[in-house]
Amino acid sequence: MRLVINVATPDPRLSAVRALNRVLPGKGDGESLREVLRDFPLQGSDGGQMRDICFGVCRHLRPLNHWLNQQLSKPLKASAQPVRLALLAGLYELWFSDRPAHAIVNAYPQLCRKLKAPWAAGLSNAVLRKASQITIEQAVADAPANIQLSLPDWLFKRWQKDWPDDADADAMARANLQTPPFTLRVNRQQQQRADALSALGEGARAGSVAPYSIYLQPARPVFQLPGFEQGALSVQDEAAQLPAELLQAPANGRILDACAAPGGKTGQLREKFPAADLTALELEGKRLARIRENLARLGTDVTLLQGDASDPHSWWDGTPFDAILLDAPCSATGILRRQPDVKWHRKASDIAALVDLQARMLDALWPLLNPGGMLVYATCSVLRDENDHQVRDFLQRQPQARDVTPRPEGATMVDAGWQLFPEQHGPDGFYLACLRKESGARLSS
């Protein structure tokens, strides 16, 4: 007689609510969605459904909350936050997924019971049945723009101030409500982009701004990508490929990748400069390990240093660099479609501290650069204080620095560097500036 053991399959909806309860707590700061998802290793369609709900609720949180609040005769207690998240998850599935409405409506009362909130089963049934009769457009037709576009008030005002053409702020917000494209970087040491496009087949197209970028639709698991395990391809947004691509250095020069984790740009620099003396710097040991893992897949390595980019005296050996890439800590407001939880974690008060840190890093790293060398400053932000205003002020402090960014025709005019905005089927929001140290400049110690 054979013993059969039934192993319960994790419920993707329940897992999504539990993950969201850590990411979007009722009070206080939440955890990073990307980090939380590491604790929920669901695979296949269940994993896809769970991640879709998590990202979708975070993307569309304000309109979902807005309509739900209108349906409640009295606010839910703080202790009922998991129930609120379950209702938001149900609304998201009804309005944004292609799953059958009747299955969604029927699933969430039972989910409330699993959450040990049987009292909410009737509420869930009533709310979701009503929602199934309308569209999201009808649900928020009379709501203010910042609610429809699912942005915090402070951020929407900041975008309108930085980019006063209303179409710019609205277009950015709408682009960030979309699922981001799946973008790859071709390892130039292993193949040409044309060959990679041919191997990937239907649904693959070349990017327009980064020469080794490829867009793939629909997205595929990385293990299905030809050559991925051997380092022939890496997942990286097209705009994020530009800083390393535009960095100039001698073939065997000394290059520093500051704030290097998780290592995507480090790997790209090694692919571009295989003979260079390349150093990757990262503050946290845990993140340094991520760089090592990513480089191992590419079959390469670099010098890894743990240290603070704003305090070189703790790690610099005194030998200058021919080129420096500073992918600075920032608000991440250009990649909200990839990290939608950032909208609800970031605060207006965070920006001044980030701007100060970026300025200190720029000032600290600049003396480490050889005369004639290049420093590329980059952020995944669309806030001007972190970007062209930051570089404008730096250029005023450093008379030997010159902005030599190859800004393409048609790019948005800014005080310095190149500002990219998120495009629905294109790059993320991103900023970079190529800064050359005039040859007459002296190296400081």
pLDDT for the residue 28: 66
Tell me the pTM.
Answer: 0.93
pLDDT for the residue 443: 47
Residues of the chain with pLDDT under 70: 1-9, 28, 166-167, 440-445
pLDDT for the residue 445: 39
Active-site residue identified among 58, 112, 259, 380: 380
Q: What is the pLDDT of residues 31-48, one digit of tens each?
A: 999 999 999 988 888 999
pLDDT for the residue 440: 63
Q: How far apart are the first and last CA of the chain?
A: 78
pLDDT for the residue 41: 84
Query: Is 380 one of the catalytic residues?
Result: yes
Q: What is the pLDDT of residues 320-369, one digit of tens each?
A: 999 999 999 999 999 999 999 999 999 999 999 999 999 999 999 999 99
